[in-house]
Structure 1
Amino acid sequence: MKVIVIGGTGLIGSRVVELLTEHGHEAVAASPNTGVNTVTGEGVTEALQGADVVVDVSNSPSFADDDVLAFFTASTRNLIEAERANGVQHHVALSIVGADLLPDSGYLRAKVAQERLITESGVPFTIVRATQFYEFVRRIADSTTGPDGVARVSTGFMQPIAAADVSTAVARAAAHEPLNGIHEIGGPERIRMDELIRRGLAAAGDTREVVSDPEAPYFGTVLRGAELAPARADAELFPLTYDEWLVAQPAAPTTPAAAAK
């Protein structure tokens, strides 16, 4: 089976390519770096020739509301058009748990728009909705840190997951028949975002203050409960905990400058 992985050189996509190749499939990474630009349409039809499955794990380079909406709608429309032209039989897309519950977030509105285009396309599909990745915990902390060096973080619940497990779920979806529906995935622990950030910063030796703030925004929206945790009865929960993931991470290299501090 030939699988084209859009965003196949990134964190999730590169591992999806590896997993599919290990299982005997012809997996091809496609991205602007390989001459395939799904936003402009450049190289898309040619890249999809002979493809059985298209996996889309690409992401917008800008999270500004208008930019991210333009990215996901243009990219998805161009992919669907090329899939129809080439007879592609399965479109797999990575989305976000709770996207449809948080319309105040421009980013999540864009993901919902992307999902709608896929479901209405007529191309058989599987949408994998994942929770936030362990790898992005410190990035979330940085995004919530103000000029005073204090991170003001939402108290809403999350159920984060390792990026490797997300790649496994996406690759598995690509290798199976289309669901023509949504498959939710997450990690094993439901935890408040502020507590997750504290654990992540402590593990990294980062001593910045974390203030719990129920009104702190997350991607432009305020969390009131467990919108970002899987809610479907058939959600797939991977067993690797955040603490186990932290232990498995390589230690940051020590530079002479860092050692002198």
Structure 2
Amino acid sequence: MKIVVIGGTGLIGSKLVAQLREDGHEPLAASPGTGVNTLTGEGLAAALAGAHLVVDVANAPAWDDVAVMDFFRTSARNVLAAETGAGVRHHLVLSVVGADRLPDSGYLRAKVAQEEIVRAGSVPFTILRATQFFEFVGRIVDSSTVDGTVRLAPVLVQPEAADDVAATLCDVAVDEPRNGLLELAGPEQFRFDELARRFLDANHDSRPVTVDVHARYFGTELAEQSLVPTGGHARIAPTRFEDWLSRSVAV
């Protein structure tokens, strides 16, 4: 079965393509580097010809509010139009847990706009909202560092490994479309500041971490449960943070 992975050369996309190929499918990694540009539409029709389903895990190249909104809106419309022409049977898109609870974030507003376009389209769909990836904790710590101190809100987070996200996408992709929403989270909850301390300790990084209830995340302040599933029906990924750390940090 031909499966087109939009953003198929990125962190999640490359893992998903490998897993789909291992499972006997025919994945096509679609990205500007492979001649497929969802923002301009270049290469989309050719890439989707004969495809049974499309998995969209692409991320925006620029994250200022205007650019990120334009990317997700325009790309979603272009992909759905090309899918309609190609007779694609299932559109699966990766989104973010809590996106609809954080409207002050330009990035998360754009992800909600993407979801709304998918819901309004004619192609059967599934939206998989995932929590933050372990692989991005270091970037979050760096972006939250002010004058040598990491400042984070003491809210709950429930992160997961990128491998687990890719594995779940692989499973959901070959299921029937839900025409609705699924959520995925890691097996443990942490306070954001606690997670940062564990990451820094494992990497022998002496930066102090301080609690700041006004610290921003993707441009928005956070409430206690902004970043975790709240409905009690989320899928739970298997990899624990300490196990991922033991495989990932420099010795």
TM-score of the pair, normalised by structure 2: 0.98
Paired residues for 1:63-142 under 5 Å: 63-142=63-142
Paired residues for 1:49-68 under 5 Å: 49-68=49-68
Please state how far the C-alpha of 1:24 moved relative to its aligned partner: 1.1
Of 89-98 and 234-243, deviating more is: 234-243
Q: Any idea what SS the aligned residue of 1:95 has?
A: strand
Please state how far the C-alpha of 1:190 moved relative to its aligned partner: 1.1
Q: Any idea what SS the aligned residue of 2:3 has?
A: strand
1:241 corresponds to: 240
Q: Any idea what SS the aligned residue of 1:221 has?
A: coil
Once residues 184 and 221 of structure 2 are traced to their aligned partners in structure 1, the CA distance between those partners, rounded to angstroms, is: 22
Counterpart amino acid of residue 152 in structure 1: R
1:10 corresponds to: 10
Please state how far the C-alpha of 1:232 moved relative to its aligned partner: 2.5
Paired residues for 1:179-258 under 5 Å: 179-249=178-248, 251=250
2:163 corresponds to: 164
Once residues 142 and 236 of structure 2 are traced to their aligned partners in structure 1, the CA distance between those partners, rounded to angstroms, is: 27
Once residues 61 and 31 of structure 2 are traced to their aligned partners in structure 1, the CA distance between those partners, rounded to angstroms, is: 13
Once residues 233 and 156 of structure 1 are traced to their aligned partners in structure 2, the CA distance between those partners, rounded to angstroms, is: 18
Could you tell me which runs of 5 or more consecutive residues in structure 2 were left unpaired when the two chains were aligned. Answer: none
Deviations 1:25-83 (A, max 9, x none): 11110100000000011111111000010010000111111111011001100000000
Q: Any idea what SS the aligned residue of 1:218 has?
A: coil
Of 125-134 and 16-25, deviating more is: 16-25
Once residues 61 and 157 of structure 1 are traced to their aligned partners in structure 2, the CA distance between those partners, rounded to angstroms, is: 28
Is the contact between residue 184 and residue 232 of structure 1 (CA under 8 Å) also seen in structure 2? no
Equivalent pairs counted in the alignment come to 251
- Superposed CA RMSD in Å reads 1.0
Counterpart amino acid of residue 97 in structure 1: V
Counterpart amino acid of residue 167 in structure 1: A
TM-score of the pair, normalised by structure 1: 0.94
Once residues 49 and 238 of structure 2 are traced to their aligned partners in structure 1, the CA distance between those partners, rounded to angstroms, is: 38
Once residues 239 and 232 of structure 1 are traced to their aligned partners in structure 2, the CA distance between those partners, rounded to angstroms, is: 19
Once residues 120 and 158 of structure 1 are traced to their aligned partners in structure 2, the CA distance between those partners, rounded to angstroms, is: 30
Q: Any idea what SS the aligned residue of 1:55 has?
A: strand
Is the contact between residue 203 and residue 249 of structure 2 (CA under 8 Å) also seen in structure 1? no
Deviations 1:190-232 (A, max 9, x none): 1111111111111111101111101101111111111111123
2:32 corresponds to: 32
Please state how far the C-alpha of 1:15 moved relative to its aligned partner: 1.0
Deviations 1:217-257 (A, max 9, x none): 111111111111112332101121111110122636xxxxx
Is the contact between residue 131 and residue 229 of structure 1 (CA under 8 Å) also seen in structure 2? yes
Q: Tell me which stretches of 4 or more aligned residues in structure 1 moved more than 6 Å.
A: none
Q: Any idea what SS the aligned residue of 2:127 has?
A: strand
Once residues 232 and 150 of structure 1 are traced to their aligned partners in structure 2, the CA distance between those partners, rounded to angstroms, is: 34
Could you tell me which runs of 5 or more consecutive residues in structure 1 were left unpaired when the two chains were aligned. Answer: 253-261
Counterpart amino acid of residue 81 in structure 2: E
